[in-house]
Structure 1
Amino acid sequence: MSNEFVSRSLDEIRFWSRIMKEHSLFLKLGFRCEDTQLIQEADHFYHTFEQIEGKSHAFTELTDPEQIIRFNMEAHLAATHIWAFKRRVLGLIIQCKLPGGNNFPLLVDHTSREANYFRNRLEELNAGRLEPLPDAIIDENVFFLRIMADHAKFIGHLLDPSERQLVEQARNFSQDFDQLLFQAVDLSGMRPQSQTEPLLDQFLDQNRVSVVSLRDFKKTARDLIDACRIKSIIHPLLADHVFREAERFLYIIDMFEASLTRKQAAN
């Protein structure tokens, strides 16, 4: 279990510290030029998570678990601070104190949800407290389905309006994932009766199909943006960022399906 704790901790930190680093950049790019204090704070968080990301690659699965516990606490503190920063920025935007900025309120809320997810994962790992499989399947899917729905909305709004076909595709993905999210919330509300293996298996299968389609759409959009073949104000790094998060969701679905299969075989 010690090796598993270390490997899972490093996996979470390597993935999410890069995500937090990039959030800092995206928020910075969305501030007005006169928002110098907010820009400096975003820069600070960029360098903080860049250091954490770099440090995570200096560890291996053979690292002393006690050292990883301390590292998780360090990353947790940074995640808590950036979460508070994002919530403060959200308040300023909603109160119309940053008029003319380019950070959507939903985008700032979205990034704060991911920071909160990251710190919660680190808390669970350090406490050795992981959710039972049926609960984890539903809760992780509720979280990531909402993230995917948000991504589709952001893409639709950041594409140039003249890219009508791509805008329509993004809108369709937004509606698809809103519906999947509502289904997941319904399944969650029916717990524990809804947590049968056939239902959870079907739940994962259905979500996988839609996530693969959205992942492929994001990859196409990313490649087109990199080649300057479509009109948008999407930063190339943002296009790759949302693609990697879809890949992460598929990785988690794979792990859940493998766990369900092992459980069924054991029965």
Structure 2
Amino acid sequence: MDAFVARSLDEIRFWSRIMKEHSFFLGLGFRAEDTQLITEANQFHTIFEDIERRSHEFNIDTDPHTIKEFNTEVQNAATHIWAFKRMVLGLILQCKLPGQTNFPLLVDHISREANYFRNRLEELNSGKLEPLPDAIIDENVFFLKIMADHAKFIGHLLDPSERKLVEQAREFSNDFDTLMFQAIDLSHMRPQSQTVPLLSQFVDENRVSVKSLRDFKKTARDLIDECRIKSIIHPLLADHVFREAERFLFILDMFDQSLSGVKVNKKEIMH
């Protein structure tokens, strides 16, 4: 199996769907008169829907050179949607879209994910993936912030009368803010902090909290699907944030397996 091909297709299949859905959510939040922005969002939806479809036409036996070219094309698309999101954020923060309903933090959040996606494709094409100890810290800093943001969005999009769920979302927000700052502290202590015992504990502790948040998101998604709670959360958004928590758990599990293999002889492993 070609690891480069498998990893590239996995990243593109997951993140192209995420980018497609970001385009849809942005479009929902624009005002009716923002026709140009709505058109651009729809164009990005079409682009990433096509990328997602084409990614499933390849398999692990596809020529790596073909995948490298595909990665370059997708990276270009991710760079363009990143620039679009940053432009929209600028308009919102300059109060040029009064009445639109995309939170500034949400637009910043989805631009960070686009940047993560394009950087990952560049790393794959250049063959310069981070060594395991750096990857563990950097991936956690990124995803813990993403999870903290999700908790904040859920809390703000639930109806205020859903007091118990709003409080739970706030607790998750505080928990993940704390974990994120712990991760940043560990990052600042590099390279001395990159011992197997510290990294292993770091991964284990984060996994416990991510599992709890994943379960909360799954419950919220199901309740929204069944129209059992009051909110303005689109059912697709509820599923979207659930899938991202699942993605983070998958990555944490991979890190745990890699660390288990270096308990005796710590060495740099490409994640």
TM-score normalised by the chain length of structure 2: 0.97
Q: In 1, Cα distance between the equivalents of 2:95 and 2:75?
A: 30
Shift of 1:263: 1.5
The equivalences for 1:146-225 within 5 A come to 146-225=145-224
Shift of 1:264: 1.9
The amino acid that maps onto 2:177 is D
Where in structure 1 are there 5+ consecutive unaligned residues? none
Q: Which residue of 2 aligns with 1:52?
A: 51
Q: For residues 7-57 of structure 1, give each alpha carbon's deviation from its aligned partner in whole angstroms, at most 9, with x where no partner exists.
A: 000000000000000000000000000000000000000000000000000
Q: Which residue of 1 aligns with 2:244?
A: 245
The amino acid that maps onto 1:240 is D
The amino acid that maps onto 1:249 is F
Classify the secondary structure of the residue corresponding to 2:236.
Answer: helix
Shift of 1:210: 0.2
Q: In 1, Cα distance between the equivalents of 2:82 and 2:96?
A: 19
The amino acid that maps onto 1:165 is K
The amino acid that maps onto 1:89 is V
Q: For residues 93-137 of structure 1, give each alpha carbon's deviation from its aligned partner in whole angstroms, at most 9, with x where no partner exists.
A: 000000000000000000000000000000000000010100000
Shift of 1:61: 0.0
Classify the secondary structure of the residue corresponding to 1:191.
Answer: coil
Shift of 1:265: 4.9
How well do the aligned residues superpose, as a CA RMSD in angstroms? Answer: 0.8
Q: How many residue pairs were aligned?
A: 266
Shift of 1:266: 4.7
Q: In 2, Cα distance between the equivalents of 1:121 and 1:132?
A: 14
Percent identity between the two aligned chains: 77
Q: Which residue of 2 aligns with 1:110?
A: 109
Q: In 1, Cα distance between the equivalents of 2:201 and 2:264?
A: 17
Where in structure 2 are there 5+ consecutive unaligned residues? 267-271
The amino acid that maps onto 2:18 is I
Q: Structure 1 residue runs of 4+, over 3 Å off?
A: none
The amino acid that maps onto 1:46 is H
Q: In 1, Cα distance between the equivalents of 2:210 and 2:247?
A: 10
Q: In 1, Cα distance between the equivalents of 2:160 and 2:122?
A: 43
TM-score normalised by the chain length of structure 1: 0.99
Q: Which residue of 1 aligns with 2:64?
A: 65
The amino acid that maps onto 2:258 is S
